[in-house]
Amino acid sequence: LSLTDRTTDIGKLISSYLENKNNLEDHTVHLLFSANRWEQVPLIKEKLNQGITLVVDRYAFSGVAFTSAKENFSMDWCKQPDVGLPKPDLIVFLRLSVLEAAQRGDFGNERYECSAFQEKVLQNYQQLMKDKTLNWKKQIVDASKSIEELHNEIKSFTEAAMQEAQNKPIGELWK
């Protein structure tokens, strides 16, 4: 499951913002990213209640890390719209240096894809990872490996988390 879902009405607004085709006020776009998650919560809950494991890209952590990299946005303010979202059972940070990311296809075409901003975002992630109420995978994963290697590595430690989550109710994020 990909969050951001760029196909909904809200997702399309976000997508053109990221492609620099429109401009949105900073608070507004932050709230739209959050709304884009909330609109998927019924589906997320339905799947989880069917016993389906969801692998979600980015989620609220990117919301906070990216917006609070802008001037005059506190991390606390950035978290509020996402308070109460389904809480992940495990969060994995995949680390790629800005240099390597820049060498990958298409880097630089979208908003936020510039090195100085990405460094600020990284610092915000490091701040978010200190939160002991969340199950961050302690070891940061080196994302420069091949897809196959990454798949195997991530699979090796997610199976335990999946087992553990099986009989637990869905938690609430940052609440």
Residues of this chain that interact with ligand 2DT (CB under 6 A) are: 3-4, 18, 33, 57-58, 62-63, 66, 112
Backbone phi, psi, residue 36, to 5°: -65, -25
Cβ nearer to ligand 2DT, comparing 51 with 108 = 108
Closer residue to ligand 2DT in complex, CB, 124/136: 124
Indicate the residue among 29 and 165 with the shorter CB distance to ligand 2DT: 29
Least Å distance between CB 120 and ligand 2DT?
A: 12
Are 150 and 95 in contact by the 8 Å Cβ rule? The answer is no
Alpha-carbon gap, residue 20 to 16, rounded angstroms? 6
On whether the CB atoms of residues 25 and 70 are closer than 8 A, the answer is: no
Tell me the C-alpha distance between 140 and 91, whole Å.
Answer: 10
Least Cβ distance, residue 29 to ligand 2DT (angstroms): 7
Closest contact distance (angstroms) between CB of 50 and ligand 2DT is: 24
By C-beta, is 33 or 125 nearer to ligand 2DT?
Answer: 33
Phi-psi region of 11 (alpha: psi -120 to 50; beta: other; left: phi over 0): alpha
CB of 110 to ligand 2DT, least distance (A): 6
Q: What's the CA gap between 91 and 135, in Å, rounded? A: 6
Shortest distance in whole angstroms from residue 135 CB to ligand 2DT: 19
Residue 33 or 136: the one with the smaller Cβ distance to ligand 2DT is 33
Taking the mean position of all CA atoms in its chain, how far away is CA 71?
Answer: 20
